[in-house]
Chains A and B, each alone.
Chain A
Amino acid sequence: MAEAIQVPTASDLPDPWTVPLDKMNVANAELFKHDKHGEYFRRLRKEDPVHYCPDSEFGAYWSITKFNDIVAVDSNHKVFSSQDNIVIGDAEPEFLTPMFIAEDPPKHDYQRKAVTPAVTPGQLADLEGLIRQRVCALLDDLPVGERINWVEHISKELTTQMLATLFDFPFEDRHLLPYWSDASTTSPAVGAPDVTYEQRHEILQECLNYFGRLWQERAEQPPKFDFISLLAHNPKTKDMIKDPMEFLGNLILLIVGGNDTTRNSISGGVIFLNKFPKEYDKLRADVSLIPNMVSEIIRFQTPLAHMRRTALEDIEFQGKQIKKGDRVVMWYVSGNRDEEVIDRPDEFIIDRDKARHHVSFGFGIHRCMGNRVAEMQLRILWEEIMKRFHKIELVGEPERVTSNFVLGYTDVPVIVHAK
């Protein structure tokens, strides 16, 4: 008989202010699951902003916790490499899926450029009408006055539709996108429990087969602005299909990059407006605040808690000796609460000055490629919500994901109130 599994609880976590600094492991996924990470990072920013953790389930790692230090590391790609690994845990060597987020120049550069045309402001202007139409359809169908899970009804579905649009993916099969996305992110490399590498591989193989068929189809058609068509027709990437692992890697990047991040920002917005009801009042009084609020939601949520780099040479950084080969983790989730750069960082303020000045999208050559799509999706959603509903009321505590990478929710119980 299997032993009973101990489910860790918040009270099993060490005290953030008394645990010895060299025992401080901010990568423990339980901290994020229980929303307890804030104080640990506050202490690091104060006492040891470039912190070395000598031992963890992911190996030794440096934590970069201050806003400006994150910008410095993120934009120094010559020393801080993205090659092969951009999350704290190392990728499985026998199942390496190369993708351009985890490449250095020059490969990163031409692969990124191949797919960028799908998400430039000009292309997005063309998609805006379609995205709005879908948002309206979904909101008009929403059950009013009863308890629902906002994640399942709106966040997940809307993001899936957005991705289906960017891939020009068969609409009736769109539920496969979040399914593949979940399979690739719930990996032991980010502290997620209960998934074996074997299960993961099986599901990702299905993803590869499906997209292989789409690729063949698009390659034979005239070029269009969806991700697959762009890759299949670009002279520098048109042979990617011959390297299935690289094809799979980039698919995962383009699916995951937009999926959890946008989904959890959509959920986060509802939670924050409920926890800061004065901000909801401000929004009702002036919906022209929506674009600024969208940036504030993305800062406050920080959908990706970290990105990881590997030092290519010895370097002194803020008085610390980082050695060649060391893991360096930029904690965006901490940079976005840096009291020296952001005024009242723990408050959600929808009319905040310089709201775009946050680290959620990263910086430097790997800065998020899909930032404008995500912002547009959120803007349209809130514009349409405000036309229809008086309030999306949070009626219970949100259930969070167990990961030190994806910060998000599985359950956000709400009741929608009509205008």
Chain B
Amino acid sequence: MPKVTFIEHNGTRHELDADSGLSLMEVAVANSVPGIDADCGGACACATCHVYVDESWLGKVGDKTDMETSMLDFAEGVQDSSRLACQITLSAELDGLIAQLPESQH
């Protein structure tokens, strides 16, 4: 079971056990991590599951699709490490992943 850590904008940490195969967004929502709205339910169509993936993990979480890139293009506070959490599928390889949450979702 991969472990993932969400760090809220105010610094609060949520260390969670996640099932492989779930998306990073689903893990956050299932554990009521505040700051992930996921309005579209994981369809890569709302950009309200925006997270910053720690640099060291960026190479392992897979590439962005065109759609994810377009959706992120309209999100607020986007950085190189920005990803949509619903587009990252957890696996043993991502054990230890750390994702920071932005101040707010737009």
Contacts and interface: CB of A to CB of B under 8 A. Distances in A.
Contacts of A356: 37-39, 48
A410 interface: no
B43 interface: yes
B73 A75 contact: no
B45 interface: yes
A357 interface: yes
B74 A116 contact: yes
Interface of A: 68, 71-72, 74-75, 77, 105, 109, 112-113, 116, 120-122, 354, 356-357, 361, 363-365, 367, 372
Interface of A is mostly: helix
A121 B76 contact: yes
Contact of B71 (A112, A116, A354, A365): A365
Interface residues of B, number: 21
A75 B44 contact: yes
B76 A367 contact: no
Given A113-B74, A121-B76, A121-B103, 6 more contacts: A112-B74, A121-B104, A122-B76, A122-B104, A357-B39, A372-B106
By secondary structure, the B interface counts as loop
B28 interface: no
B37 A71 contact: no
A122 B37 contact: no
B33 to A, nearest CB: 15
20 contacts: A68-B43, A71-B40, A74-B45, A75-B43, A75-B44, A75-B45, A75-B67, A109-B73, A109-B74, A116-B74, A121-B76, A121-B103, A121-B104, A121-B106, A122-B104, A354-B41, A363-B43, A365-B70, A365-B73, A372-B106
B73 to A, nearest CB: 7
